[in-house]
């Protein structure tokens, strides 16, 4: 099965207390959220942080699409609850529109 890799960015609010809370939430992500990621075709996911900038790497199988994932998320009450909770800590990166979360990054180099 082929894999695709996507890299995305998002900022957290610049508040050490909120950043700490956000990291704690991600030490114990709700099982329903993990399951929704797997069902959407996400095989592996890692999130890294420096200061308030987040960087996510997703490895997906051939069934994954951002449109399908968005539709699944809209229909999943638990995912909506999680996203609402996480927005307390998040803010869009410069250049995004209000309310925009994770932004797909453009690959510009590979070795």
In a domain, 25, yes or no: yes
Query: Per-residue pLDDT tens for 29-66?
Result: 999 999 999 999 999 999 999 999 999 999 999 999 99
In a domain, 10, yes or no: yes
Q: How far is CA 84 from CA 11, 43, 68, 78, 88, in A?
A: 16, 24, 20, 10, 7
Tally of structural domains, the chain:
1
CATH no. for residue 12? 3.30.70.1090
Question: Which of 81, 93, 103 minimizes the C-alpha distance to 29?
Answer: 81
Query: Per-residue pLDDT tens for 59-108?
Result: 999 999 999 999 999 999 999 999 999 999 999 999 998 888 999 999 99
pLDDT at 1: 59
Query: Per-residue pLDDT tens for 4-38?
Result: 999 999 999 999 999 999 999 999 999 999 999 99
| Start-end of H helices in 3-76 | 16-25, 31-39, 66-74
In a domain, 9, yes or no: yes
Element (H, E) at 83: helix 77-87
């Amino acid at each position: 099965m082929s894999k695709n890799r996507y890299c995305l960015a998002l900022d957290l609010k610049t508040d050490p207390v909120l950043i700490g809370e956000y990291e704690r939430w991600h030490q114990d992500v709700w099982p329903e959220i993990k399951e929704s990621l797997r069902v959407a075709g996400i095989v592996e996911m890692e999130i890294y942080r420096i200061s308030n900038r987040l960087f996510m790497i997703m490895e997906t199988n051939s069934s994954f699409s951002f449109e399908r994932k968005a539709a699944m998320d809209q229909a999943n009450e638990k995912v909506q609850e999680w996203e609402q909770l996480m927005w307390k800590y998040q803010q869009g990166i410069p250049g995004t529109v209000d309310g925009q979360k994770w932004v797909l990054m453009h690959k510009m180099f590979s070795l």
